[in-house]
Amino acid sequence: MSKIDQSIFEVIKDIVAERMELDIESNKINSETKLMEDGLGLDSISMLDIVAALEDRFDILIEDDDLNFDIFKNVGSLTKFTSSMIERKTNN
């Protein structure tokens, strides 16, 4: 993971822990931590809340067409997606 992706990963861990009001500290979340049912219990409302937080934090726009369930497979996939959205913004 690049230094930039690592920074994004750290922010995402904090956002996930805060928005989902988890009883675990963000340092216990790793890139393989599952986000949905069998992991942290992310539901569709939580997904939208996290997307809004990512948009605010990284000043990006995430369109509905950009989203799919694979993005929310685990923290690593969400980090990769967020990184690609930041890169897309930078290149436009």
Task: Write down the pTM of the prediction.
Answer: 0.90
Phi and psi at 65, nearest 5°, equal -65, -20
Report DSSP state, residue 61: -
Residue 45: is its pLDDT beyond 80? Answer: yes
Q: What is the CA radius of gyration of the chain?
A: 12
Identify the structural domains of the chain with CATH numbers, from first to last. Answer: 3-91 (1.10.1200.10)
Confidence at residue 24, expressed as pLDDT on a 0 to 100 scale: 75
Q: Which residue from 60, 56, 52 is spatially nearest to 91, judged by alpha carbons? A: 60
Count the alpha carbons within 13 Å of 56 in the hemisphere toward its beta carbon: 7
Confidence at residue 21, expressed as pLDDT on a 0 to 100 scale: 80
pLDDT digits (tens, 9 = 90+) for 5-31: 899 999 999 999 888 887 777 778 899
